Each structure stands twice: as C-alpha cells, then as structure tokens.
Structure 1
Amino acid sequence: MSPPPLGRGRKRAAHAFDGALGDTELITARAALAQGRWAAVRALLVATGDDWDRRGHRVTVLAQESSTQAWARDWLLAEPESADAAVLLAVASVQRALNGKEKPDQARKACHSAVALAPADPTPWLGLLMLERTLGSDEDVVRLFDEVRHRHPDHHHAHHLMTARLAERRPEAGQDPLHEVYDFAGWSAEQAPADSPLAILPVVAHAERYRVLAAAGWEPADPVASGHWAGRRARQVMKAAFDWWLEWERDDHPRSYVDLNFLAHAKFCEGRGAEAAALFHRIGPHVTPAPWGYPDRDPYTAFRAARDSVLGAA
C-alpha cells in the first residue's frame, strides 16, 4: 500500500521505515537468516560481488537484525575462510556496540579481522566508520572515511555518514552558508563522476544540518516553517538535485537500471534522517525492481511535488 500523498497527516505506525529499501532478494535472505538459514545470505553476498554500494547496503541491513551476530558466528565457524561471514559478523558487532550490547573494542577487533580476510572490501571499514562516527574523534572519522574511499571513491553510505558527522559541528553557527558540511558535500559532488548519485549530497547536507539545528533548538521542528529550504542557496541545491534526478531517470542513461533514492537513504544511514528529508518520502505509483528504490515509487512526481511544496512552484 502506498503512503498518503503530500499534505496529509499520518500516524507514525502507518509508515514504518524498512532499511531494505525494496530489495526483494535482501528481504528474502533476511527472513531466512532470522530462521538460522545463513546459506541464503551466503548466496546473496556471492551474487552481490564487488558492487560495493549494494554490498554495504545489504550487509548493513542484515546486521541490524538481533540474531545476525549469532548466525554469522556459526557461519564463520563452519567456513573459517569466508570473507562474507567475517564482514557480516563485523558489521553486526558494530550494530550491537552502537546499541550498547557489546564493547566497542570487540566490534573493532571483528572489523579488523574482516579486513584481513577481505583487504579490498570497503565494507568492514564502513563498519568501523559507522562505529566511530558516533564514538570516535574527528581524526578517527576522517581516517576511516579515507580508508573507505581508497577502496571505493564514490561510496555513498560513507559520504552520508561523513556528511552527518560534519553537520553536527558548531550548531551555534546556525544557517551559516559557509559551514564545512556544505563545502564537503559540494566538493564530493564535484569530484564524483558525471552520473554519480553523489550529485544529491548537497541536499543531504541541508537535511542533516537542519536535523542538527532543530535538535539544538535553533530551528523549529517543522522544516516547512523554518525557512531553511527557502533561501537562494537552498533553491540552487534543490534545482541541481532535481536536474540530476531527471537525468538519472532517462531511459538511455548509462545507469538507468538503478533507481537510487538517496534522499531515502539519508534516512537509512544509522536508522535516522533529517526531518526535512521526510518531505521527499511521500510517494506515488511507480514500479522499480532496483534495490535502492522503494517499490511503487515515482521519483519524478514525488520530487517535483516535494520541491513545489517546500520552495513554491518553479
């Protein structure tokens, strides 16, 4: 069932967020793992291969399940040389550490063990970045971000984590257009290939910065009433992201087989997202098999409606 259209209120329970983002293969493997059948996860990760963005997404979603660590440990005992088992165990340990159910040093050790088995894989480094994004120093976060980028320069999840961390600096500066989070997002978008979904990172930066300002009491809880999205810079950012989205949806686009909803993924990172980003999650009918998009989603209609609602019709 599709969520209600823009402008209608909804109860929280009516739109529970699923980090799987419509990846049916992932959803099936996750259900099997919950029953202790880790062979389905093994097949899923083998099929994923070195599609690092998709691998990071799938491993992170699987790791969020409460039983994953135990089953991943059983898998690793059965196949001690399995890099996939080690990576899944590592990220599951990170999730437990972030939930206060395991010591962070144990999660760090598990991640480094996974690195030893899969040195080219950015996913265990992503796990460490997820951990230190919450617990570590700025130097730790930057170092781990560089480790991920060394293996996959355009890793979207790592860029989202870094954006969220930078957005939390100097909340007292308010809507400073020169804040470092905007510089980072702009630099990342400029450095990425022309068809990279990192083009939308400046929008994520605005959303994450709003989250921080609202939490600190510098902005109202309602993003529409804040004016945060109404300034000239915000309009430029929104237009650039909207133009990129239209380009991405072209039938002849070189990567048109992937429908990446990175505004939704901003919410996926760490299981939370900016209040402003929620404006883009109210969707219309559109079928896509791609794991990064929601089923029954029309990005063009949803983005245009959200843009017009917040900024006024172009």
Structure 2
Amino acid sequence: MALLPPFIRASRTVASRRPRTAAPHPAPGPGLPADDEVLLDVPDDRLGPALVAAGQGTYETAAALLAGTVERAEWEHRDRYVTRLASFARSRPEWFEEWRAAAPHDPDALLVAAQLAVERAWDSPARAELLREVSPLVTAAAQADHRDPVPWRIALDHARGSNAGPKYFGELWAAAVRRAPHHYGCHVAAKRYLAESWHGSHRECFDFADRAAQDAPAGSLVQALPVRAVFAYLTDGCGPEVPRERLDAAADRAIGLSARFPGSDPWTAEIRNLLTYVLVRLGRRADALAQLRLIGPYATSFPWGRLSDDPLGHFLAVRENVCSQPSAEPAGHPRNGHGERAHPADH
C-alpha cells in the first residue's frame, strides 16, 4: 500500500414524522418514546426558526443565525447549520435566491452557496467535472472570512469529489487545521478522503481517527471520529481485519462523549444514532439500549439512510430488535457474513 499522505501525520430538512399507517404503537420499552413520537433530523432550537422563516420565503433569520456563529466562533454549529440550510435551499430556493440578490458578498450567503453547489454537483454522473466548475464559489467562501474553518471543510469535500491528489488535499487540510485544530467536520472529510483513496485501508483510517481523538478535548465531537471508522469498517466488507478490542475501544470512547451531553438532545443525536448502530453490530445490546434511551425521539438520517431508503423505519426496526433481545449474547466477529453495505462515499 502507498505511504500515507502527509495530512494524516499531523497531530435533512425540517423534522419529519413517520407516516401513520396504523394505530399508534405503545412505547417499546421503559424510557423510550412510542414509535409515532420519534422524529427524523429534528433541528435544534436555533436552526428551527431559521428553517421555518425560510419556508415562508424570508432569509433574515438564517442570516442572523449564521452571523451569530461567527461572533461566538461556534464553528461546529456553523458547519451543521450551513449544511442544513443548503439542503433546504435545494428544494425551497426562493428565500436563498433573495438573500444572494440582496447581499451577493455576504460571507454567510457565500458559504451556503458553496455548500449548495457542491451538493448539487455531487449527485451528477459528471461529478468531478461539475465540481471543478464550482471551484470559484468554494474559493470565494474561503476568502470571505479567514478565521472560518467551514469553507475549508467544503473545500476538502470538493477535493475528494473532484479526485484531487494527496498533495493538494494535504495543503487544504493544513489550512483547515490552522483555523480550528479539532473541527469535527474537517476531520470527517479527511477520513472520508483517506477511505476513498485507499479502499479497504481501515487500519490507516483507525490510526488517523485515534490520533485525532487523543489530541482533542474530552468534549470535542472529534471523540466520535473512531466510531465513524468502525462504521466504515463494519459496512465496507473489504480490507484487513481490525482487532475486536479496537472496535470496542472506539465505541467506549464515543460512549464517554455521549455521557457528557444531556439526554434527548438534538445536537448529539447523530453521534448517538451512529453509536447505537455500532453497538448493535458489536453485540453490545445493553449499551445500545442505554444509547437509545439517550436518543429519545431524535432519529437521524445518518447512519440509517446509508443502509435503507427508509431511515426512520430502519431506526425503529433496530430499536425494536434491541428492546426484544436485551440480553443477547455478544456477537463473534461482527463482519462474518452479516455486514450491511453502505455507500462508500458516506463513510
């Protein structure tokens, strides 16, 4: 296998209910909401009003939301809000078009525009070519505010999709970590690039994720990076075997991160949903049940949407299975014939 690139050596829309096709189900177990109370991709209390206002055709609430994240240097929130607003603009573009017309040089509007352009190009069979065409948008977003790491996360995703070489990607990575050494989104983008550059290179991905988590503060979302590496390994079905103790260590690290946040918290819902999937695959059903109680009513598209066209239904089915077999014996090697395949670009 080729040597690792230098960069790894350095230290959906408003919440949706599941359609009701039958009478509401009772709660599946103590401390868990009923099936018809579980929501998908619930926005937090700040993003929710911005999405509602955008749905009504106005952009000012979204603009104020993103401006506040810069004032408070809330880069993780900024990244998440930009992604959700761009996704909303794909289906409801009027409010965003009005924003761009009113403030064409607004750094926040430029950032959403860059995210939106990358998302649109990503779904095309001519993805690499289209991504090269939107490079000026990504560059404009990066130049708009030199403190902000989020444009560099977009640039990392852009480079991965346009098949950039490791030298160029490494330069982008260095620029990103100078701005925010422990930014979760940039680390996820870097791990995805590594996974795609060397398909099946799970040990290298684990090495990168473990080093990043060890260097990050205890409450940083980067503590969840190793469990993302576990997800990629469990759903990929190729590459050398990773020792079971390493998979459990990554899950334990993510459990520790989850414990630092309150239960029924939309902010950590995606990490807890991902952790639940991993714990189920590892046969750790008691730990998975504990995470399900912390998740409460907040299902997320990731990881379930990588495994099914019905992410909410898949989550509920897994939850039901966990509740019906709380004392199941731990599984053997979790990849032996029972893997679920996810799209590799989503690792």
TM-score under structure 2 normalisation? 0.62
Q: Distance in 2 between matches of 1:83 and 1:166?
A: 29
1:29 to 32, 38, 50: 50
Q: Distance in 2 between matches of 1:189 and 1:67?
A: 36
Counterpart code for 2:59? W
Matches within 5 A, 1:42-81: 42-49=63-70, 50-65=73-88, 66-67=90-91, 71-81=95-105
Q: Distance in 1 between matches of 2:162 and 2:279?
A: 24
Q: Does 1:82 align with 2:91?
A: no
2:140 alignment partner in structure 1: 113
Q: Distance in 2 between matches of 1:188 and 1:39?
A: 37
Check 1:288–1:67 CA distance in 2 against 1; reply closer, same or farther (3 A cut): closer
Q: Does 1:146 align with 2:174?
A: yes
Q: Distance in 2 between matches of 1:259 and 1:106?
A: 34
Q: Does 1:284 align with 2:293?
A: yes
Check 1:308–1:131 CA distance in 2 against 1; reply closer, same or farther (3 A cut): farther
Q: Is the Cα contact below 8 Å between 1:197 and 1:262 reproduced in 2?
A: no
Q: Is the Cα contact below 8 Å between 1:83 and 1:114 reproduced in 2?
A: yes
Q: Does 1:192 align with 2:213?
A: no
Check 1:144–1:71 CA distance in 2 against 1; reply closer, same or farther (3 A cut): farther
2:206 alignment partner in structure 1: 182
Compare 188-197 and 135-144 and name the one that shifted more: 135-144
| Cα shift at 1:74 | 3.1
Q: Distance in 2 between matches of 1:201 and 1:44?
A: 27
Compare 85-94 and 144-153 and name the one that shifted more: 144-153
Q: Is the Cα contact below 8 Å between 1:154 and 1:198 reproduced in 2?
A: yes
Q: Is the Cα contact below 8 Å between 1:200 and 1:262 reproduced in 2?
A: no
Check 1:283–1:96 CA distance in 2 against 1; reply closer, same or farther (3 A cut): same
Describe the superposition over 1:199-249 as per-residue Cα deviations: whole angstroms up to 9, x where unpaired: 232121111222222xx5x79xxxxxxxx8982222233233323433x24
Q: Is the Cα contact below 8 Å between 1:73 and 1:89 reproduced in 2?
A: no
Counterpart code for 1:43? A
Q: Distance in 1 between matches of 2:186 and 2:235?
A: 18
Q: Does 1:204 align with 2:225?
A: no
Counterpart code for 1:141? F
Q: Is the Cα contact below 8 Å between 1:210 and 1:275 reproduced in 2?
A: no
Q: Distance in 2 between matches of 1:134 and 1:96?
A: 12
Instruction: Give the 3-state SS of the residue equivalent to 2:46 in structure 1.
Output: helix
Q: Does 1:104 align with 2:131?
A: yes
| Cα shift at 1:250 | 8.3
1:125 alignment partner in structure 2: 152
Q: Is the Cα contact below 8 Å between 1:111 and 1:127 reproduced in 2?
A: yes
Q: Is the Cα contact below 8 Å between 2:50 and 2:62 reproduced in 1?
A: yes
C-alpha root-mean-square deviation of aligned residues, in Å?
4.3
Compare 52-61 and 125-134 and name the one that shifted more: 125-134
| Cα shift at 1:91 | 1.1
1:299 alignment partner in structure 2: none
1:93 alignment partner in structure 2: 117
Counterpart code for 1:236? A
Q: Distance in 2 between matches of 1:308 and 1:206?
A: 23
Instruction: Give the 3-state SS of the residue equivalent to 1:283 in structure 2.
Output: helix
Q: Is the Cα contact below 8 Å between 2:212 and 2:222 reproduced in 1?
A: yes
1:263 alignment partner in structure 2: 271
1:293 alignment partner in structure 2: none
1:301 alignment partner in structure 2: none
Q: Does 1:157 align with 2:185?
A: yes
Describe the superposition over 1:24-80 as per-residue Cα deviations: whole angstroms up to 9, x where unpaired: 321331232244311121121122232011001100111112146664343233123
Instruction: Give the 3-state SS of the residue equivalent to 1:183 in structure 2.
Output: helix
Instruction: Give the 3-state SS of the residue equivalent to 2:249 in structure 1.
Output: helix
TM-score under structure 1 normalisation? 0.67
Instruction: Give the 3-state SS of the residue equivalent to 1:24 in structure 2.
Output: coil
- Could you list the runs of 5+ residues in structure 2 that have no partner in the other structure? 1-16, 19-24, 30-35, 282-287, 299-321, 332-347
Check 1:122–1:243 CA distance in 2 against 1; reply closer, same or farther (3 A cut): closer
Q: Is the Cα contact below 8 Å between 1:192 and 1:199 reproduced in 2?
A: yes
| Cα shift at 1:123 | 1.6
| Cα shift at 1:184 | 0.1
Q: Distance in 1 between matches of 2:45 and 2:142?
A: 28
Counterpart code for 1:283? L
Q: Is the Cα contact below 8 Å between 1:182 and 1:202 reproduced in 2?
A: yes
| Cα shift at 1:16 | 7.6
